[in-house]
Amino acid sequence: MITVKTLYETDFSLWLEETAGLLRAGKLDHLDIENLLEEIEGMSRSERDAIESNLIRVLQHLLKWHYQPQKRSPSWAYSIIEHSRRLHKAFQNSPSLRRHFETVFDECYSAACQAASVETQLPLANFPKSCPFAQADVLDINSEDYLID
């Protein structure tokens, strides 16, 4: 007999459907609690990881935009606007993620400096130790007007 716990290992999609059905039916004693908790916690981690990834990308391209103006490209502008939009949308869907954004901002700036240094071939020391961009500015990039010096 296939149990819900076995389904988790053999057919994840069916496990999700069965778990949803059990929850709807109120059959909590039949739930695969261990794996359900793992998946819920994993979803939270994934959302936080996406915040960090998008923040690094915005900061990285802002650094490139400001420290290599002669090499500016539409793809840099697009990347800045798109990843800022993704952050904004994540905060609309889950306002509590804003706290994570604020907590990891400086750490993400350091990662963005390293990435920008590699891509631009500029020494890491060329970039400020403290982020020159305000958190609010990173989130308010919604048009190319922001990118005009």
pLDDT one-digit tens code per residue, 64-77: 999 999 999 999 99
The more confidently predicted of residues 7 and 110 is: 110
C-alpha separations of 10 from 2, 41, 86 in Å: 10, 21, 33
- Phi, psi (rounded to 5 degrees) for 20: -60, -40
- Report the distance separating Cα 117 and Cα 119, nearest Å: 6
Q: What are the boundaries of each domain within the chain?
A: 1-31, 45-147
- DSSP secondary structure letters along 11-69: -HHHHHHHHHHHHHHT-GGGS-HHHHHHHHHHHHHHHHHHHHHHHHHHHHHHHHHHH-G
pLDDT one-digit tens code per residue, 99-112: 999 999 999 999 99
User: Could you tell me the pTM of the whole model?
Assistant: 0.80
CB-based contact 131:106 (threshold 8 Å): yes
Q: Is the pLDDT of residue 146 over 80?
A: no
- Report the distance separating Cα 41 and Cα 39, nearest Å: 5
* Neighbour-count burial for 71-81, b at 16+ CB within 10 Å, e otherwise: eeeeebbebbb
